[in-house]
Amino acid sequence: MARTGLTDSHCHLDHFSDEELPDLLSRARAAGVSGLVTIGTRLSRAAEQKRLAGFDSDNVRVWCTVGTHPDHVDETPVPTAGDIIAQTHEDCVIGIGESGLDYFHGKPEIRPRQQESFRANIDAARQTGLPLVIHTRDADEDMMSILRHEHEEKGAFPFLVHCFSSGPELARTAVELGGYISFSGIATFGRAESVRAVAAEIPAERLLVETDAPFLAPVPKRGKRNEPGYVAHTARVVAELRGMEDDAFAALTTANFHRLFTRAA
């Protein structure tokens, strides 16, 4: 498929029924979306993400990632990098994660477990060259510390900080370490001036967009169940912040997506 249109770099198709998916993908295509990634939140359910990647069509390409969200690290033993890598051999798997740190939901006692899982996912990304999709919430200091330590002590790895809602220092750190940053519907919310400021200023070549569907529907769909086609609303807001036309912004962010997710053909 030609690399045209918008790419929703982060959604969760496993929150939709199989019966809903054909119409959901049709609406996404009508909104200008040519590709999307359904994101793994539990390594134990990697097979489900791969199955969902099979819903792609001539109009919308679907890929997936495999990994364990920090909110779920206490459900099963923390995987090794080898456990994660074993789930990445199919071509539809284009990334690792989502993994990271969540100190908003996570109780303090599970933070060491989140960090252990995060480092295992980093190691898997480093060994495979597949980008790591990073979730971070209320954990900027530890996130920056781990990212810097892993890069300095063990070597670089490709990564994307998804659904950016952190401070500018984390954005600068991510960019300095070669990372990319993705913006969700949060960028359209009335009180998200700080997020929009980061979206307006980061280097153009490190910028992606996403929905995080079915969560965080952008204005004017806020309060509804989010879906991949709604990425167009977020894209329009961020494009305006950067003084870009919609088509040019779609071309930019989709080119960035393919530069990072090199397996996404």
Q: Which of 255, 264, 155 is nearest to 205 (CA)?
A: 255
Beta strands in the chain (DSSP E): 6-11, 33-38, 61-66, 93-102, 132-137, 159-161, 180-183, 207-209
Cα(61)–Cα(53) distance, integer angstroms: 8
Report whether 233 belongs to an annotated binding site: no
Report whether 212 belongs to an annotated binding site: yes
What SS3 state is found at 208?
strand
> Distance between alpha carbon 167 and the CA centroid of its chain, in Å?
18
Quickly count helices (H) and strands (E) in the chain. 9, 8
| In contact, 181 and 207? CB cutoff 8 Å | yes
Dihedrals phi, psi of 133, to nearest 5 degrees? -90, 115
Report whether 10 belongs to an annotated binding site: yes
Report whether 98 belongs to an annotated binding site: yes
Cα(160)–Cα(155) distance, integer angstroms: 16
Contacts of 155 (CB under 8 A, 6+ apart): 126
Look-up of token digits 């397996």: 263
| In contact, 1 and 35? CB cutoff 8 Å | yes
Report whether 258 belongs to an annotated binding site: no
Binding residues for a divalent metal cation: 10, 12, 98, 135, 162, 212
Residue numbering of the annotated binding site: 10, 12, 98, 135, 162, 212
